[in-house]
């Protein structure tokens, strides 16, 4: 029995060492010459123009990170393989290594922190309510008896139900398979309100056929730090990505990139979202950190 226990202990130790050594994404990137970058189809921070073209604030920021990774691994060039991910599959695809890292609209929270790791925050999101102007909904209290849509795999419904101002509010919740599907439920009248990150709501309204029929209303339901996500226990990759982001903040290029995508006309409809950087986002840039949303003052 003693020998068996010793053997099991050695096996566990070897397995632990193997596991700790297994995560070296920079070595994988150097060997393959390719970065598998997780991208979004309809996020406010990154979206597709079709035909495999992905754009947006976080997508372009990620491309600049890859450019810096090229120097870190000593490669003359790195190919980016754009891997479309969704709110449902983003964590498992990062965990199993299909995606090297993703920079979309993922909230850094403690629950996700058990499975994955996050870079320093690059955008602080405010969760809001979008509705039709004709709905009569102007805030949380008006959601009583209504149908509220959010997107599968996101934190928005939990955020709404936990909000102290939602006490006593009874609403039916439905879930879209992605943000575009959620907005379609609102657009078609199958939902009365869409609860989601403000940037995602603004982007979907801007792209709507009748954009003037919709608006964002009510209280800020939650303040959430958004950050690039990658596998746990990969300190080399975290340092490399954090350093690139801090470099982009320090030289002012990240702020210019933000203005490009939120304060100027953007494709595909050449719409200006008119969303200046919030004070929370500016504070995150002033003091880069990877604090989860639980460390923010939320109500």
- Tell me the average pLDDT of the chain: 89
DSSP string, the chain: -HHHHHHHHHHHHHHHHHHHHH--HHHHHHHHSEEEEEE-SB-SS-EEEETTEEESHHHHHHHHHHHHHHHHHT-S--EEEEEE--TTTHHHHHHTTSSSEE-SS-B--HHHHTTEEE----EEEEEEEEEEGGG---SGGGGTT-EEEEETT-SHHHHHHH-GGGTT---EEEEESSHHHHHHHHHTTS-SEEEEEHHHHHHHHHHSTTGGGEEEEEEEEEEEEE--EEESS-HHHHHHHHHHHHHHHHTTHHHHHHHHHHSS-BTTTTB----PPPHHHHHHHHS-----GGGS---
Per-residue pLDDT, averaged over 217-241, amounts to 94
Per-residue pLDDT, averaged over 188-201, amounts to 93
Nearest to 180, CA basis, from 19, 50, 9, 2: 50
pLDDT band, residue 9 (cuts 50/70/90): very low
pLDDT tens, 16-56? 444 445 589 999 999 999 999 999 998 889 999 999 999 99
pLDDT band, residue 1 (cuts 50/70/90): very low
Half-sphere exposure of 265 (CA within 13 A, CB side): 4
pLDDT of residue 207: 79
pLDDT of residue 211: 85
Give yes or no for residue 11 having a pLDDT over 70.
no
Cα–Cα distance for residue pair 208/210, rounded to 1 Å: 5
Same fold, 25-125+225-295 and 126-224: yes
Per-residue pLDDT, averaged over 187-196, amounts to 96
What residue segments make up the domains of the chain, in order of their start?
25-125+225-295, 126-224
CATH topology of domain 25-125+225-295: D-Maltodextrin-Binding Protein; domain 2 (3.40.190)
Rg (alpha carbons) of the chain, rounded to whole number: 21
pLDDT of residue 164: 66
- End-to-end CA distance of the chain, in Å? 55
Tell me how far CA of residue 204 lies from CA of 40, 213, 268, in angstroms: 13, 12, 12
pLDDT of residue 19: 46
pLDDT of residue 13: 42
Give percent of the chain above pLDDT 70: 91
Cα–Cα distance for residue pair 42/48, rounded to 1 Å: 7
pLDDT tens, 110-140? 999 999 999 999 999 888 999 999 999 999 9
Could you tell me how far CA 250 lies from the centroid of its own chain?
A: 22
pLDDT of residue 2: 44
- Maximum Cα interatomic distance, the chain, rounded to a whole number of Å: 75
Per-residue pLDDT, averaged over 187-193, amounts to 97
pLDDT tens, 54-63? 999 999 999 9
pLDDT of residue 94: 97
pLDDT of residue 22: 59
Token pair for residue 14? 């070897």
Cα–Cα distance for residue pair 144/188, rounded to 1 Å: 20
Does CATH number 3.40.190.10 belong to domain 126-224? yes
C-beta of residue 271 within 8 angstroms of C-beta of residue 206: yes
Cα–Cα distance for residue pair 290/225, rounded to 1 Å: 8
pLDDT tens, 54-106? 999 999 999 999 999 999 999 999 999 999 999 889 999 999 999 999 999 89
The model's pTM is: 0.77
Cα–Cα distance for residue pair 213/183, rounded to 1 Å: 13
């Amino acid at each position: 029995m003693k020998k068996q226990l010793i053997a099991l202990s050695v096996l566990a130790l070897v397995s632990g060492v193997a596991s700790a050594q297994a995560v070296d994404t920079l070595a994988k990137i150097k060997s393959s010459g390719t970065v598998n970058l997780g991208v979004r189809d309809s996020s406010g921070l990154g979206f597709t123009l079709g035909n495999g073209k992905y754009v947006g604030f976080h997508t372009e920021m990620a491309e600049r990170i890859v450019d810096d990774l090229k120097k870190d691994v000593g490669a003359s060039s790195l190919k980016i393989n754009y891997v479309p991910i969704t709110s449902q599959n983003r964590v498992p695809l990062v965990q199993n290594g299909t995606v090297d890292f993703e920079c979309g609209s993922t909230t850094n929270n403690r629950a996700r922190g058990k499975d994955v790791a996050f870079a320093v925050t690059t955008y602080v999101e405010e969760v809001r309510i979008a509705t039709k102007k004709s709905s009569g909904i102007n805030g949380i209290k008006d959601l009583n008896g209504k149908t509220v849509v959010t997107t599968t795999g996101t934190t928005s419904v939990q955020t709404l139900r936990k909000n102290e101002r939602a006490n006593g509010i009874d609403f039916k919740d439905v879930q879209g398979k992605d943000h575009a599907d959620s907005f379609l439920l609102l657009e078609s009248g199958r939902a009365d309100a869409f609860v989601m990150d403000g940037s995602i709501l603004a982007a979907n309204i801007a792209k709507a056929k009748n954009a003037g029929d919709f608006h964002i209303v009510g209280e800020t339901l939650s303040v959430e730090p958004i950050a690039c996500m990658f596998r746990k226990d990969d300190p080399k990759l975290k340092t490399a990505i954090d350093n690139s982001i801090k470099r982009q903040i320090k030289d002012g290029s990240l702020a210019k990139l933000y203005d490009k995508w939120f304060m100027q006309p953007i494709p595909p409809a050449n719409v200006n979202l008119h969303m200046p950087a919030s004070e929370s986002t500016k504070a995150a840039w002033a003091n880069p950190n990877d604090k989860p949303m639980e460390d923010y003052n939320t109500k």
